[in-house]
């Protein structure tokens, strides 16, 4: 059979062969992956644009190299729920896809997608966080471009070990974070280090959690949340002053570069996060440019400062899927197959493609892409970034083999940094004597405008530690107190906000302040005290010496004096033993008895006993002695009580205060009391659990108008000008008491605390400042400064307890009494002088003025202490007897002239012998008649008859007819006739006339 040649082939056959060849040459590999997007907004994370860019980039590469074309079917997920996710997958399966990518931010939906893809054996490429807990897959698995939870825990643990942070606090936005960071929690449990876990509530308000962390003084905070919630937590932390150098934040979100924290961070903030973006990728800049261009066209402003991790992972996922399909297509021809959720059909090439996916090696926008046998990403790196103003910087790299390479960072605080040659900003508040303006401060500049204890201490510290400082007054004039939103006012707020490096003033160290700032060792110890004005009481009067006894007591004392005088007089008159002979006559005057208790003496004797001066009158009878003894005992008790009560009264008058303790303040409402607004003293009462202090706080908090003051000077003014007690530190109390003597401290100290130098939390200068303060204390420099500013003043030292002298306002009344007594005595003396000289002038027949002048000369003569008794002569030269009476020149009867002046004789008993002697003296007086009255005178002398003998009724009566009955005596015997007396010894008429021999 002849062979067939080329020419013998049928033209029809040639036609079909050419057609087949053309068809084969025109076949293009169509790769249709599906992507599920859970971000539908145009101005979102840029995932849709990333898919488009990936498609264009791959297709541009395939042109001229292979017959392959990529078309990505995009499906949007409306809700993150199992139903919506299942419904979306049922829409994807009939399309016939080679793989499913996404969703990016819905772990629960991603788990549902993985489960359905496993049933249909369609590869699932994850670009979001790993779901927790993991669902068991029947026969299939997926690959994940997102770092695994285990790797994330290892990276955080490596950072903690690198910076030696043994204690940390974890803030979880969702409960699954403990499963997500299971490896981190296990490491803390094994190392027995402390990890406190706090969960955000449904309100997503992190304030309570941050306050708890601040109170625990935990410096390292791990935040497991998405980018938006992480920003919310950091912003609130900034408001609470928790973004200082003391705090270190580690964020688990992979979108850390997208956080705009310019309003949160400062140069001292320590906020660390992770990033997977590979900035060295050739397409990285084009990728960013395309995103920015898209945002500018469809958005008012760029929603993010750069590409999100999910968009970059979408870009890499498309490249990974295409690369795996191309490798599989080299070994076997593959094709897509429509599937259904209602049938058990599977894609026959799914298992092979999954194996090729695990073998992919690719350098993408997120770095090296490789997978292990479990489909987890391996051999990749995490860039460790630190936020600062205007962006971030890379401080280290973590490798997936758990290796950490760190650069120098502000997290690693260089503790060897010293204060030398540094200029620190010092915030303070005007408070005497700590910081004060100089008198000419307006003419000065800088630190020279200020003086005071704290200013001198700062100069001592600066000289010791070789630094300079600039004093800045606090803006709001407050020491610092927490606000309801968690922020702080005053100097504390300025330290938290890094407006100052130091706070130097009368700055009290409290536990609440210690939670947000650092303090040095105390440079002064003190406590809360009560300042009140000295209680002046009522103004002492001139008769305040009467105050120890009430008017009723003085009245009863007067009545007692009168009663004792009357009883003493009656007892002395009734008792026979009070009648005695004081001067018995040698010639038989033994029967003349006297009673010393006249009415005047009875009134005078109690006065002498009451004044404790005594008198010459001594009681003789038992009755009068009994009265005197009782009176003396009475006066002893009265005088002793008066003396003691007078001393106590004068002392209490100087020291009396209406309040003596905090309990007295709490139990009354007449005196207001308060403290400085926003100070440590107010915080002490607000947080106290002591019942008395709680009542005081309730009063101060609810009192209207407010009892709080803005400064110490305002409080002092209220104390001086009103009924107001000021609660302040004891050092300020002592200082102002030395300046104002009308101020006093009530009671002791309510607590014990100290003043310290405040610094921002985590300040690198804390140790140096503390050592400097201790060195100043050891060298007694602080004590010298304290003496300089506290000693002195116009008030005496409180240690001087010498009694204060009494002034005229206290005892001036007794001088009034003395002066009145002297005036009365002089008045009585003048009246006596006038009365006596007037009578003498009448008797001597001279003028009253002449007699007064003569007597006044004798009275004021300082050289004479004695004088002769003035008497009237018996008769004038012209004296005659008239009508039986001898008269002088003035015509006065002789008997009247010669009669001795009558005097009271109520206290004299005259016996019969004395009466006889008186009769003889009367008779003998007429035997001595002057010569000019001789027997040849024409006048006839009257017959001088002796007075008749006294009757028995008058025998016992007192001379002078006093009318006071005396005790009856036995009737005397008849008196014999008088016997003539010798002339030399007989009494003369001069005795009767009052002239002394």
Binding region: 508, 513, 680-681, 729
Residues sharing a CB contact under 8 Å with residue 605, sequence separation 6 or more, in sequence order: 565, 568, 597, 615, 617, 628
- Distance, in Å, from the CA atom of 103 to the CA atom of 922, rounded to the nearest integer, reads 159
Task: Please give the annotated binding residues for L-glutamate, written as ranges.
Answer: 508, 513, 680-681, 729
DSSP 465-526: HT-EEEEEE-SS-----B-TTS-B-HHHHHHHTTS-SEE-SS-B--HHHHTTEEE-S-SEEE
- Distance, in Å, from the CA atom of 847 to the CA atom of 830, rounded to the nearest integer, reads 18
How many beta carbons lie within 10 A of that of residue 819, not counting itself? Answer: 10
Q: Which H or E run includes 82?
A: helix 82-92
Q: What is the CA radius of gyration of the chain?
A: 62
DSSP 631-671: HHHHHHHHHHHHHHHHHHHHHHHHH--S--SHHHHHT-SSS
Q: Which two tokens stand for residue 958?
A: 């007192």
468-473 and 450-451: which strand pairing? unpaired
- Distance, in Å, from the CA atom of 125 to the CA atom of 317, rounded to the nearest integer, reads 7
Beta bridge partner(s), residue 849:
none
Beta bridge partner(s), residue 532:
744
How many beta carbons lie within 10 A of that of residue 748, not counting itself? Answer: 11
Beta carbons of 507 and 491 less than 8 angstroms apart: yes
Sign of CA dihedral 338, 342, 347, 348: negative
Instruction: Identify the DSSP state of 165.
Output: -
How big is the chain, counted in residues?
Answer: 997
Q: Which two tokens stand for residue 602?
A: 């009875």
Q: Which H or E run includes 251?
A: strand 248-251
* Distances in whole angstroms, Cα of residue 608 to Cα of each of 234, 566, 623, 776: 94, 16, 19, 70
DSSP 352-406: HHHHHHHT--EEETTEEEEE-TTS-EES-EEEEEEEETTEEEEEEEEETTTEEEE
**Whose structure tokens read 């078309």?**
71
- Distance, in Å, from the CA atom of 873 to the CA atom of 535, rounded to the nearest integer, reads 74
Q: Which two tokens stand for residue 562?
A: 């009168």
- Distance, in Å, from the CA atom of 991 to the CA atom of 160, rounded to the nearest integer, reads 133
- Distance, in Å, from the CA atom of 938 to the CA atom of 954, rounded to the nearest integer, reads 39
Q: Which of 283, 356, 377 is nearest to 99 (CA)?
A: 356
Q: Which of 680, 696, 701 is nearest to 752 (CA)?
A: 680
Residues sharing a CB contact under 8 Å with residue 367, sequence separation 6 or more, in sequence order: 276, 277, 278, 380, 381
Q: How many Cα neighbours within 13 Å face the side chain of 397?
A: 10
Instruction: Identify the DSSP state of 993.
Output: H
Q: Which of 139, 133, 84 is nearest to 113 (CA)?
A: 84
DSSP 868-920: PPP---S--TT-EEETTEEE-TT--BHHHHHSPPP--EEEEEPPHHHHHHHHH
């Amino acid at each position: 059979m002849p062979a067939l040649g080329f020419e013998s082939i049928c033209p029809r056959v040639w036609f079909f062969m050419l057609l087949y060849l053309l068809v084969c040459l025109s076949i293009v590999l169509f790769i249709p992956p599906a992507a599920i997007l859970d971000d539908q907004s145009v101005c979102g994370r840029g995932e849709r644009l990333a898919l488009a860019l990936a498609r264009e980039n791959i297709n541009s590469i395939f042109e001229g190299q292979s017959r392959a074309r990529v078309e990505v079917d995009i499906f949007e997920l409306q809700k993150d729920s199992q139903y919506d996710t299942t419904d979306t997958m049922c829409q994807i399966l009939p399309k016939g896809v080679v793989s499913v990518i996404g969703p990016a931010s819905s772990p629960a939906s991603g788990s549902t997608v993985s489960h359905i893809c496993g049933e249909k054996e369609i590869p699932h490429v994850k670009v979001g966080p790993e779901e927790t807990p993991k669902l068991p897959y029947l026969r299939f698995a997926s690959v994940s471009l997102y770092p695994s939870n285990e790797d994330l825990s290892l990276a955080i643990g490596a950072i903690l070990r690198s910076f030696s942070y043994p204690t940390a606090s974890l803030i979880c936005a969702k409960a699954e974070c403990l499963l997500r960071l299971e490896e981190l929690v296990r490491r803390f449990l094994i190392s027995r280090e402390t990890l406190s876990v706090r969960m955000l509530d449904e309100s997503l308000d992190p304030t309570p959690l941050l306050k708890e962390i601040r109170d625990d003084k935990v410096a390292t905070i791990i935040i497991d949340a998405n980018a938006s919630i992480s920003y919310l937590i950091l912003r609130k932390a900034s408001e609470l002053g928790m973004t200082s150098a003391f705090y270190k934040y580690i964020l688990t979100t992979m979108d850390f570069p997208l956080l705009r924290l310019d309003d949160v961070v400062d140069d001292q903030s320590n906020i660390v996060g992770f990033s997977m973006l590979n900035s060295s990728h050739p397409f990285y800049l084009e990728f960013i440019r395309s995103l920015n261009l898209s945002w500018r066209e469809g958005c008012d402003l760029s929603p993010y400062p750069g590409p999100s991790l999910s968009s970059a992972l979408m870009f890499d996922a498309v490249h990974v899927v295409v690369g795996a399909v191309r490798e599989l297509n080299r070994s076997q021809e593959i094709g897509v197959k429509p599937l259904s959720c209602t049938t058990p059909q599977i894609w026959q090439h799914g298992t092979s493609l999954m194996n090729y996916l695990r073998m992919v090696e690719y350098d993408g926008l997120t770095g090296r892409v490789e997978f292990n046998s479990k489909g987890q990403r391996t051999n990749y790196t995490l860039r460790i970034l630190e936020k600062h103003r205007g962006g971030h910087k890379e401080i280290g790299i973590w490798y997936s083999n758990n290796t950490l390479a760190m650069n120098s960072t502000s997290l690693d605080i260089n503790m060897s940094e010293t204060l030398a040659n540094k200029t620190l900003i010092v915030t303070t508040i005007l408070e005497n004597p700590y910081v004060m303006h100089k008198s000419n401060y307006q003419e000065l500049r800088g630190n020279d405008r200020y003086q005071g204890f704290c200013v001198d201490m700062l100069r001592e510290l600066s000289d010791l530690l070789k630094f300079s400082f600039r004093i800045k007054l606090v803006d709001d004039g407050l020491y610092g107190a927490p606000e309801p939103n968690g922020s702080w006012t005053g100097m504390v707020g300025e330290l938290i906000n890094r407006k100052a490096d130091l706070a130097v003033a009368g700055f009290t160290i409290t536990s609440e302040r210690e939670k947000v700032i650092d303090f040095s060792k105390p440079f002064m110890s003190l406590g809360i005290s009560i300042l009140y004005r000295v209680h002046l009481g009522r103004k002492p009067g001139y008769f305040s010496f009467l105050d120890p006894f009430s008017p009723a007591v003085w009245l009863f004392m007067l009545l007692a004096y009168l009663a004792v005088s009357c009883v003493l007089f009656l007892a002395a008159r009734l008792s026979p033993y009070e009648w005695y002979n004081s001067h018995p006559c040698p010639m038989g005057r033994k029967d003349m008895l006297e009673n010393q208790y006249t009415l005047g003496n009875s009134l005078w004797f109690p006065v002498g006993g009451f004044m404790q001066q005594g008198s010459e009158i001594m009681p003789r009878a038992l009755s009068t002695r009994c009265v005197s003894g009782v009176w003396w005992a009475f006066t002893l008790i009265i005088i002793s009580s008066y003396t003691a009560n007078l001393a106590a009264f004068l002392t209490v008058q100087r020291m009396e205060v209406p309040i003596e303790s905090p309990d007295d303040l709490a139990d009354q409402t007449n005196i207001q009391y308060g403290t400085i607004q926003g100070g440590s003293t107010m915080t002490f009462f607000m947080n106290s659990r002591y019942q008395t202090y709680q009542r005081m706080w309730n009063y101060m908090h609810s009192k209207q108008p407010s009892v709080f003051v803005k400064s110490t000077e305002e409080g002092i003014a209220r104390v001086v000008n009103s009924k107001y007690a000021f609660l302040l530190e004891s050092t300020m109390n002592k200082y102002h008491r030395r300046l104002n003597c009308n101020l006093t401290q009530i009671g002791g100290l309510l607590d014990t605390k100290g003043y310290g130098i405040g610094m921002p939390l985590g300040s690198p200068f804390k140790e140096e400042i503390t050592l400097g303060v201790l060195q100043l204390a050891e060298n007694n420099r602080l004590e010298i400064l304290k003496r300089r500013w506290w000693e002195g003043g116009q008030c005496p030292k409180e240690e001087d307890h010498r009694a204060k002298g009494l002034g005229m306002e206290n005892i001036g009344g007794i001088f009034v009494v003395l002066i009145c007594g002297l005036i009365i005595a002089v008045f009585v003396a003048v009246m006596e002088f006038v009365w006596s000289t007037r009578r003498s002038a009448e008797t001597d027949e001279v003028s009253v003025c002449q007699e007064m002048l003569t007597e006044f000369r004798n009275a004021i003569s300082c050289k004479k202490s004695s004088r002769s008794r003035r008497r009237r002569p018996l008769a004038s030269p012209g004296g005659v007897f008239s009508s039986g009476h001898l008269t002088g020149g003035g015509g006065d009867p002789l008997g009247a002239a010669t009669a001795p002046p009558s005097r009271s004789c109520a206290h004299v008993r005259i016996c019969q012998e004395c009466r006889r002697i008186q009769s003889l003296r009367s008779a003998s007086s007429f035997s001595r008649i002057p010569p000019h009255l001789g027997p040849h005178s024409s006048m006839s002398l009257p017959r001088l008859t002796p007075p008749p003998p006294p009757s028995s009724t008058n025998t016992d009566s007192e001379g002078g007819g006093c009318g006071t009955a005396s005790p009856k005596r036995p009737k005397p015997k008849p008196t014999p006739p008088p016997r003539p007396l010798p002339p030399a010894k007989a009494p003369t008429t001069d005795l009767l006339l009052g002239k002394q021999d």
